[in-house]
Amino acid sequence: MRTRTETEALLLEANLIKRLRPRFNVLLRDDKSFPYILMSGDHAAPAIMKHRGARKRKGSYFGPFASAGAVDRTINALQKAFLIRTCSDAVYDNRARPCLLHQIKRCAAPCTGEISLDDYAGLVGEAKAFLSGKSLAVKAELAGNMEAAAQTLDFESAARYRDRLAALSHVGSHQGINPQSVEEADVFAIHQDGGMSAIQVFFFRTGQNWGNRAYFPRADKSLEAPAVLESFLAQFYDDKPIPRQVMVSSDFPDRQLLAAALSERAGRKIAVHLPSRGEKKALVEHALTNAREALARKLADTSSQNQLLDGLARVFDLDATPRRIEVYDNSHIMGTNALGAMIVAGPDGFAKKHYRKFNIRSKDLTPGDDFAMMREVIERRFSRLLKDVGPRSEDAGDATPADAEGDLKPWPDLILIDGGKGQLSAVMGVLDDLGIADLPVVSIAKGRDREAGRESFFRPGRQPMMLPHRDPVLYFIQRLRDEAHRFAIGGHRARRKKDMTRNPLDEIAGIGPSRKRALLRHFGTAKAVSRAGIEDLVEVEGISEQMAEAIYDHFHEGAG
């Protein structure tokens, strides 16, 4: 493929490396988008919320932040400081009285008119100014208002301004380094050891530190740090906004070419610096210290994880060290909202991008039949795997090592089932029906009185076994099982909550938020609406006779 300039060639190379993942290139493994703070712009009373993915919704975006936790902490503090709502538009449109957040002074409650929309817009403007880097001006204005209120003996208002100032100070105290001379920049530092590379990235926006994140790109061991960093940077900004400054800890020959390529992509001038003194140099050195510490932790975790995987192979007589382990569990309450879950673990720990949930679909399944639920989950998982990938023997022989890019292969080397003999028999029956043989399966039965450390392990054609109480492999298996249970119960609770909050009025065609709110204000509850006659429904504002008949028919279908 021909390109017109060197910068186009550099960008094309980065795109192809990220898409085709060739074996000997530096590969950025980044499957998760950065979170942003969104101040919505498509509602009369804007809301503040966390946002990931494409920025399609109208509004103001602030970020990126290094982690969801950093966004949550910032939003929490901004709620206290500016009283901006965080509820969805549907909840807002259906409020009849202020919610708990208003009672604990975290929302101004524009939904019920506790504050006018003009005054609320003022709060939104202050929040945007703070997030846009005008924090000192916002704090000065709040401090002035507090002093003015105190001088007029309006101590209640003064206390509110005091609390808002304290919340803003809380944001700054959790941001660590806040440079005076850096308005907008990303700082990259690389450290190599033990055949691995760690790149620490710090994000500075509007003069504030919005967090940091460590990356461990997979690269050939012969590549020096500058080459790894250069290739990493070219791929990093493939799908992310580029700041005006990029600071690096190592120089590389094509640094100016990379700056030109990033400038072309961003449509404005981007500088790639190697700071040599002052505050910027200190920022890079701080990032380098973090990279060094992150790599040390990664190497220790990797060594420990490999030892545990070797232990699993020894304990369960596997032909090779497992590289992909799948753990299955079910969750339900008396058969309702039944859900199956699969978690995956490998050499790098839990591989959360491979996790899957299975809503139990069988209509003829007896409520609470764990064996039938496990059969459905395993049948759906492995029939789909056979269809998409093909037989296991074609994928990797006896074991499934990590591929050249470090991603886990689709076929597991070991299946762990939360349950006893019954669950094991159910799983083996499905695998036999699908023609899958020689796939190691182990079921984990809880000990007497469900005591941890007394688990029994069942394998096809083998006697049950137990592991020594203090065996590290036992602790590892317990951690895998607990993660599967956490993932399953979380999905079950989400389904149950959704069912509990579902309103019968939502199921009626033509009933939007306004009509729903009008009906609830008139009748009080959805149950009262279901009992109302057509003549009563017509009295509600916005409900025509035709709509009243549709509502009545929805609740009285089959009557008479």
Condensed to tens digits (0 to 9), the pLDDT of residues 170-227 reads 555 545 555 667 778 899 999 998 888 899 999 888 777 778 888 888 877 788 889 8
Q: Is the pLDDT at 9 greater than 60, yes or no?
A: no
What confidence score (pLDDT) does residue 133 get?
63
Residues linked to residue 327 through DSSP beta bridges, in sequence order: 343, 416
pLDDT over 60 at 364, yes or no: yes
Task: Give the pLDDT band (50/70/90) at residue 136.
Answer: low
Q: Is residue 4 predicted with pLDDT exceeding 60?
A: no
pLDDT digits (tens, 9 = 90+) for 248-257: 999 988 888 8
Closest Cα partner for 99 from 112, 82, 80, 118?
A: 112
CA nearest neighbour of 180 among 137, 202, 138, 209 = 209
Q: Where are the domains of the chain?
A: 6-31+179-297, 36-173, 318-499, 504-555
pLDDT of residue 444 exceeding 80, the answer is yes
Specify the range with the lowest mean pLDDT, choosing from 44-58, 143-157, 380-394, 421-435.
143-157
Task: Give the pLDDT of residue 208.
Answer: 74
Q: Residue 78, Cβ neighbours under 10 Å: how many?
A: 24
Q: Which CATH number fits domain 318-499: 3.30.420.340, 1.10.260.40, 1.20.1250.20, 3.90.660.10?
A: 3.30.420.340
Name the average pLDDT for the chain. 81
pLDDT of residue 21: 52
> What is the side-by-side order of every strand in the sheet holding 196-205?
208-215, 196-205, 185-193, 245-248, 271-273
Reported as a pLDDT band with limits 50, 70 and 90, residue 169 is: low
CA 19/CA 35 separation, integer angstroms = 23
CA distances (Å), origin 10, targets 197, 254, 314, 382:
22, 10, 47, 41
How far apart are the C-alpha atoms of 330 and 227, rounded to whole Å? 47
pLDDT in tens, 330-361: 886 655 667 889 999 998 888 888 999 888 87
Q: Do 298 and 310 form a contact (C-beta atoms < 8 A)?
A: no
Q: What percent of the chain clears pLDDT 70, i.e. is strictly above it?
A: 82
Q: CATH number of 504-555: 2.50.20.10, 3.90.79.10, 1.10.357.10, 1.10.150.20?
A: 1.10.150.20
Strand partners, 204: 185, 209
Distance, in Å, from the CA atom of 154 to the CA atom of 167, rounded to the nearest integer, reads 21
Yes or no: say if 409 and 333 are a contact pair by the CB < 8 Å rule.
Answer: no
pTM beyond 0.85: no
pLDDT tens figures, 367-408: 667 888 889 999 999 999 998 888 876 444 444 444 433 467
> Does 504-555 match 318-499 at the fold level?
no
Q: Which residues pair with 342 in a beta bridge?
A: 328, 356
**Cβ neighbours around 162 below 10 Å, total:** 16
> Which residues, in sequence order, are CB contacts of 45 under 8 Å at separation 6+?
85, 92, 110, 111, 117, 120
Q: Is the CB of residue 22 less than 8 Å from the CB of residue 32?
A: no
Name the residue type at position 371. Answer: F
Structure tokens at 7: 């910068």
Is pLDDT at 59 greater than 50 in this prediction? yes
Over range 288-293, report the average pLDDT: 92
Determine the average pLDDT of the residues in 25-31: 51
The mean pLDDT of 442-457, rounded to a whole number, is 77
Q: pLDDT at position 194, please?
A: 80
Terminus-to-terminus CA distance in the chain, angstroms? 73
Angstrom distances, CA of residue 55 to CA of 20, 52, 75, 167, 239? 26, 8, 18, 28, 12
- Of 1.10.10, 3.40.50, 1.10.20, 3.30.420, which CATH number belongs to 6-31+179-297? 3.30.420
Q: How far apart are CA 526 and CA 389, in angstroms?
A: 49
For 305, half-sphere exposure in the C-beta direction (CA atoms, 13 angstrom radius) is: 18
pLDDT for 174 equals 47
3-state secondary structure of 455: coil
Range with lowest mean pLDDT among 316-325, 361-370, 371-380: 361-370
Average pLDDT over residues 412-440: 90
